[in-house]
Chain A
Amino acid sequence: MKKKEIIRKFVVYGVYIIFLSALQVSFSDSFSINGQVADLMLVFVILTGYLFGLKDAIVVGLITGLLRDYYAGPAFEGGTDQPVALLGLGMLLMLYAGVISSVLFTKAFHRKLPLGFVQVMIVTVSYKVVGHVLFVIMLAISGRGSEYLSLFEIVTDSLIPQMIVNLLATAPILLMLRYMGPYKNGINKRLLLGSGETENLWRTN
C-alpha cells in the first residue's frame, strides 16, 4: 500500500469517527425515534467491517468504542453507593459489531451496497439483544433487582425503533464510505487478493 493511500485511510477514518461520534452525542434528541437515538457510531463500524474487512473493523471498532466509553460510558454500581464509570464495554461491543459485520454474509452479499442495509439490520438486532442480556447480567451483579423490560417492551420500544433509526442513518454513511471513503473507488483491494472476487462484485448494479 502506498504512503499516500495509508495517509488517506487514517485521515478519512479519523475524521469520520470523530465527526459521527460528536454528532451522535451532541444532537441525540434530533436523531431519535421513540427514545432510541440513531447509532451513527455503530452503523459506521458495521459498514466499515462490511465494506472493508476485518482489520479495518477491528481498528475502527476499538477507537469508536473508546469514544463511546469516553462520552457516555455506562455506570456500574457494584453494590456500593459510588457508581464507577466503566471503560472498555463500548470498545468490546463495537469491536464485535465490526468483526461480526466483516465475516457475516460477506460472501453471500458480495459486499454490495444495497445489502449493507440488511447487514446493518442484522448486526443492530444482534447488538441490541446482546446489550439487553449484558444489562440484565449487570443488574444482577450489582444487586439492583431482577425487574427488567418485558419481551414485548424490548421489541416495540427498543429493537424496532432502533432498527428504523439506524437504517435511516445507513444511507448517508454508506454513500460516504463508498464515494468519499478511506479507499479509492470505495474498494479495499486487499480483500480481493486471493479471494477470487473481482471489482465487479462490488458494484451496485
Chain B
Amino acid sequence: MRRLFSNKIFIVILITLLVVVIIIMSTIPGNPIRTITAPVSFVIDPIQKGVKSVGEGITGFFSAVTEGMDIRKENEELKAEIAQLEYQVAQGEEAIRRWEELKDAFHIKDTFENYRIIGAPVLTREADEWFSVIRIDLGQNDGFLLFQDQSCAVVDARMNLIGRIMTSEPESSKVLPLLHEGFSVSAKVNTVNGAVVRVSGETTLKQDGLCKVTRIPVTIDLKVGDELVTSGQGGLFPAGIPIGVIISVDYSSELNRTAILQPYANLNDIKDVFVMVPEENSDTTADTEAVSVVSPR
C-alpha cells in the first residue's frame, strides 16, 4: 500500500478522481462542497482588495507623474502647481460623473420601487476566456444573504442590465455577466405588448461584446434599432430593465429566427454595479422570501 502511494502516476490519478467528484458535486444544488470556498473568502478577499488598492494607487501615482512631466515641458516654473491642479480637476470631473450616475440610479429606483438597490464596486474580472465570472464587493458580512437557487439582477449606474448574482460568500459575491455563455434572460421589445424573446450569451459573439436573441415568434419581425428590456417572466428580473438594442436580424430559417443584440452596458468600463434586491414586503416574486438584506451598505 505504501509503495502504491509512492507511485506518482497513482497519486495523480487519485487526485484527478477526487477533483472530478468535487466538480460533479458542485453541480448538484444544495451540495456541501460550496462551503470549501467560505474560508477562502475570509483569507483571499481582503488580500485581493489590498493588492487592488495598491495597484490603483501606483497607477494613480504614475499618471500624476506623467501629467506633471507634460506640464513641465510647457511651463517649467509652474510645473508643480499645474500638475497638482490638473490632478485635482481630474478628480473633480470623476466625482461629478459619478454623482450624475448615482443621481440617475436613484431616479430609476422610483420606477422599481419594490426593489432595494445596493451599490458595490467590482472586485475582480475574468481570469481567462472561460473563467469569466466577475466578483463584486458585496457579501454575507455586508448583510447580503442569498440562498441556493436564488438570484438578483445586477445593473449599472444607468440601470442597464449587467448580469445576475450567482453566489454570495462572506466577503463578496459572484456575478454572471450578460455576455457569459451561461446567461439567458426573457426579454421583450420595449413597446406596448412587445414580443417576448430570449436574450443569451454566445461564445461566438462574446469577444465582440454582443448577445444572441432567439425564440423570436414567427408572427413578429424584430427590426434593427428595436430596444429590448427584461420581460419580467420567470420572476427573477423585474420587467422593464433596459438590455440593449437590436443591430442585426437573421430570418433565413423560419424555425431558427435569430438576431444580434448590442447591450447598453459596457462591462469593460464598469467600476461599480448595483444589485436589485426585492423588498421583503413586496409581492413581486418568490425570490422575496429567499433574498434578504439585513443591513445594507
Question: Which of A68-86 touch B at CB < 8 Å?
Answer: 68-78, 81-86
Q: For B125, give its contact among A18, A25, A39 (CB under 8 Å).
A: A25
User: B44 an interface residue at 8 Å Cβ cutoff?
Assistant: yes
Question: 10 A-B contacts, Cβ less than 8 Å apart?
Answer: A19-B51, A22-B47, A25-B125, A26-B51, A29-B268, A36-B129, A68-B127, A74-B182, A88-B22, A139-B203
Contact yes or no, A25 B16, CB < 8 A: no
**B interface secondary structure, majority:** mixed
List of A residues within 8 angstroms of B123 by Cβ: 26
Residues of B within 8 A of A (CB): 8, 11-12, 15-16, 19-20, 22-23, 26-27, 29, 33-34, 36-37, 40-41, 44, 47-48, 51-52, 55, 123-135, 149, 151, 166-167, 174, 176, 180-184, 200, 202-204, 207, 234, 236, 268
B53: nearest chain-A partner, CB-CB: A26
In the bound complex, residues from chain B placing their C-beta under 8 Å from that of A95 are 12, 15-16, 19
Q: Chain A residues near B203 (CB, 8 Å)?
A: 135, 139, 147-149
8 Å CB contact of A72 from B29, B124, B149: B124
- Complexed CA–CA distance, A27 and B16 (Å): 31
User: A36–B166 Cα gap in the complex (Å)?
Assistant: 24
The answer to whether residues A84 and B27 also contact, given A28-B127, A72-B133 and a CB cut-off of 8 A, is yes
20 further interface pairs, Cβ-Cβ under 8 Å (given A18-B47, A66-B40, A84-B26): A18-B44, A21-B127, A22-B44, A28-B125, A36-B128, A37-B127, A70-B44, A72-B124, A72-B127, A75-B181, A76-B27, A85-B26, A85-B166, A87-B23, A90-B127, A91-B19, A142-B182, A147-B202, A148-B204, A149-B204
> Residues of A at under 8 Å CB distance from B?
18-19, 21-29, 35-37, 39, 41-42, 54, 58, 62, 66-78, 81-92, 95, 99, 131, 135, 139, 142, 144, 147-149, 153, 157-158, 162
Inside 8 A of B129's CB, which chain A residues have their CB?
Answer: 35-36, 131, 158
